[in-house]
Amino acid sequence: MSIKYLPIVLDSVIPKKLPKVELFVKHEKGFTLYKPQDTELTEQNLERLRENGTEFVYIDNADWDLVETYIEKNMGDIFSNERVPQKSKNLISSHVIIDCINDIFTNSKKPAAFHKCLAILKKLSFKFEDRDDLTSHFNKLEQNYEKYLVIHSAQVTILSMFLHEKLFKASRNEVIGIGAGAMLHDIGMLQIASNITEKTDALSESEYYRVKLHPRYGYDMLCEMFITDQISLDIALSHHERHDGSGYPRGLSGLGISRHAMLVSICDIYCALTMNRPYRSASTPEEALKTLNSEKKYFTPEIFDGFLGIMTPRHLKEIPAEKKSIPREADSGSSALLQDFTKRLRSSAEDRKKLLQLHSEVTDCVNETFGKEKEAFVAFRKELRDFMQSISSGDKQN
């Protein structure tokens, strides 16, 4: 049986307290055993790893629960240790959040998992030097941890807590509620069939309708867990509402959307754009900001301007919106989809049922993308509609 390697932050290791587990290091060709189970680990061992630039070591999946219990039990000692740099403390805090999210997603009907999150959040704090420090941190999470939905939720949690403190000077209790809500904002996706959530091509109209139900599912799941924190419930239900009223599930607009839900929704889109997905490669932070700026009608102006003010790189005075011209070259994943759609358009020219199905799939892409990708799909849909209209006109004449 092959080992599934899971990362832990090197600076979370306290030699005399770490359970007796095997530790592995990662290299280009795979993983190598660094410390056998019964071999004692020393501070000298850890220092040599640090000198080599090692930030993560790896354990066997079978030892995960044992090591997680150790980290949670020793967080106080780790965070109070002045020798542990802040960047490592940020990574360790993220690791604990990832574990909490994974625990909730695995035990979604157990209130204890949610209350564990609240207890953990009270012990954590993130400090980033600047926006570049934050985006570098996110890159490390994506490179070292698996499960898109869990990592995405962790990024949204960290960014939402960070920005609420910066923009609104939110109290500690408020930030904890926001963090819990952000951790669980997509819990409703657990109610969506995996053949939809893991699909690498365009969703059908009925599949997209199912996905749009996940905020309501999430809200109901939290209520069934007897969660009463209003901030957490509001974030789960309203993180897809839009300032212009075009969002879902309730079509709220303007001041009808709380600042918590609105800022989490912005963070949600930003983090989604900057992570790799099967159907498209990640945008750079600058590209993601341009995309968001081109769609700013969806966001409360004051909150969005505050988000841009913090997330805009130092070397740019302002982030311009993407030009509304149709791009010559879309993202590689989108380009592949557009090529497939074009082939299907040509091969389905005489089959109205297939053309309607194609139109439904293209509409899904329009609804799920932003910026250049959205423009490309909108242009193709117009071409498809014109073609279908010409066929209808021809049939009437005949």
Q: Determine the pLDDT at residue 231.
A: 93
How many folded domains does the chain comprise? 3
Does one domain contain both 134 and 233? Answer: yes
Does one domain contain both 260 and 170? Answer: yes
Does one domain contain both 192 and 284? Answer: yes
DSSP string, 16-41: TTS-S--EEEEETTEEEEEE-TTSPP
pTM score of the predicted model: 0.77
Whether 320 maps to a domain, the answer reads no
Contact partners, residue 277, CB within 8 Å, separation at least 6: 148, 333
Nearest to 258 by CA among 335, 174, 342: 174
Question: Whole-angstrom Cα distance, residue 78 to residue 13?
Answer: 9
Does one domain contain both 305 and 387? Answer: no
Q: Are 109 and 224 in contact (CB under 8 A)?
A: yes
Using CA atoms, how far residue 278 sits from 166, 202, 232, 255, in Å, is 33, 11, 29, 36
Q: Determine the pLDDT at residue 391.
A: 65
Whether 104 maps to a domain, the answer reads yes
Whether 260 maps to a domain, the answer reads yes
Does one domain contain both 300 and 185? Answer: yes
Does one domain contain both 188 and 291? Answer: yes
Q: Determine the pLDDT at residue 279.
A: 64
Residues of the chain under the 70 pLDDT cut: 1-2, 195, 197-203, 278-279, 314-334, 348-350, 364, 367-372, 391-398
Q: Determine the pLDDT at residue 3.
A: 79
Whether 188 maps to a domain, the answer reads yes
Q: Determine the pLDDT at residue 28.
A: 86
Using CA atoms, how far residue 373 sits from 229, 319, 378, in Å, is 37, 18, 9
Q: Are 359 and 384 in contact (CB under 8 A)?
A: yes
Does one domain contain both 338 and 287? Answer: no
Strand partners, 398: none
Domain that holds residue 384: 332-397
Q: What digits encode the pLDDT tens for the residues 13-25?
A: 999 999 999 999 9
Q: Determine the pLDDT at residue 324.
A: 38
Q: What digits encode the pLDDT tens for the residues 31-64?
A: 999 999 999 899 999 999 999 999 999 999 999 9
Q: What digits encode the pLDDT tens for the residues 286-342?
A: 999 999 999 999 999 999 999 999 998 865 555 555 443 333 334 555 677 787 778
Does one domain contain both 289 and 164? Answer: yes
Does one domain contain both 267 and 288? Answer: yes
Q: Are 104 and 117 in contact (CB under 8 A)?
A: yes
Does one domain contain both 342 and 300? Answer: no
Does one domain contain both 110 and 251? Answer: yes
Contact partners, residue 354, CB within 8 Å, separation at least 6: 344, 348
